[in-house]
Structure formats: C-alpha cells, structure tokens
Amino acid sequence: NAGVTQTPKFRVLKTGQSMTLLCAQDMNHEYMYWYRQDPGMGLRLIHYSVGEGTTAKGEVPDGYNVSRLKKQNFLLGLESAAPSQTSVYFCASSFRPRQGRLGEQYFGPGTRLTVT
Amino acid sequence: QQPVQSPQAVILREGEDAVINCSSSKALYSVHWYRQKHGEAPVFLMILLKGGEQKGHDKISASFNEKKQQSSLYLTASQLSYSGTYFCGTGLTGGFKTIFGAGTRLFVKA
C-alpha cells in the first residue's frame, strides 16, 4: 500500500498563477483533509471532506477550493496564488468516526509551495 | 479554538524526562498526539478519549482530564529518536475534524 501520496512535491508559482495539488489514498478512508503548515503555527485545516462529493471549510479556507469526485482523491486548488500562500501543504485521511471517536490521521509527505 | 501547547520548546539530554501539555477552552471529546520529525509528515502516536484514560506507546504515555480540558504527554528516559515536534489535536463531541496546537519542539542531545 502506498498510503497517502501527494503531487507535486515542490512548486514555485508567480503571484496570480493557479495550480492544483493532488492527494490520493489507497486505504479506503472516508475522511480527507488539507492542512497548511507555517513556522510556529502548527497545522491549520484548510478544507476537509467526509465523503465522496462532499466538502467543508476548515479554519483557513479563503483563497482555496477543493473537490472530491472520487473517494480516493482530494484536490486542492489555488485560483490566484498570493505570496501569503507560501507554505507546506499536507493532505491526510482517516476512517469516519466510530463510537464518536475521530480516527487517526495518515499524512502524505507534503508539498512545498513558494509563491513569488 | 486552537489548543494551547506548553512549553513551546524543550531541550533534553538523553535519558531525561519531559512533559508536554495541551489545553483547550472548549469541552473535548478526544485528544490526539502526533510527532513530526524535521522535513517529514506528522505521524500518529495515540488517541485519548474522555474518561481520564491513559495510554502508552513504548516509553511515551499520555493522560486526558476532560474536566480541566487538558492532556499531557509524558516522555520517559528520552532517546535521541524522540527529537521532533509534538502536536496535540483536539476533537469536539460530534465533530468531524481535529484542531491542532502550534506544536512543541523537542530536542534530545547525547
């Protein structure tokens, strides 16, 4: 099993450009998440999905869009990149809650994005 | 809403013990702990549910006091491999997501 994979691993964008980050998992997880990680700020949730065809906003959703057309894939889009979106982006997945307990999350290796 | 972790950073010598605390202003149902080594993805350590349970993972254990809305991670007889950033994540009753703290950087030196 590959677990959670992310593409690309690195990317440099100019302000105003757009791009899509792809996350794929082969563990049949229902839930998927996109986080950004900035120095000293931990992991901040951008968007998440509790199932195919559903998405919801997290803590810092502005400037991002997501789609989950297939259970195994979760796409994060930046329509018009800004320098403030320079960050490391992590995708994660987990099973749906069981007995009210959120499942452990499995993280992808991350995408390092620089916007100039 | 983000849980508060303390301390922000700690330096240990191999064999020493450490405690990392995580507190929330909201009523919690669960607390998750993850460790992230430099340049890598976070890795799950353990989940604690309300009820005051404790759990252990090798020489790393944790407790959860839902009345105080606090959790503590205990690292005993630290090893060089324990170095990294530790994150707590909190889950609310009926919630769908985990909110992570800013992290505690732990450095173990020989």
Instruction: List pLDDT tens digits, range B92-110.
Output: 766 678 889 999 999 999 9
- What number is the average pLDDT over the span A84-93? 97
Q: Are A72 and A6 in contact (CB under 8 A)?
A: no
User: Is residue B43 within 8 angstroms of chain A, CB to CB?
Assistant: yes
A16 touches chain B (CB under 8 A): no
pLDDT tier for residue B69 given thresholds of 50, 70 and 90: confident
Res A2: pLDDT: 80
C-alpha span between A29 and B96 (Å, rounded): 14
- Are the beta carbons of B102 and A41 separated by less than 8 Å? yes
Mean pLDDT of B35-41: 94
Whether B92 and chain A come into contact, CB under 8 Å, resolves to: no
Q: What is the pLDDT of residue B11?
A: 97
| CB atoms B97 and A45 under 8 Å | yes
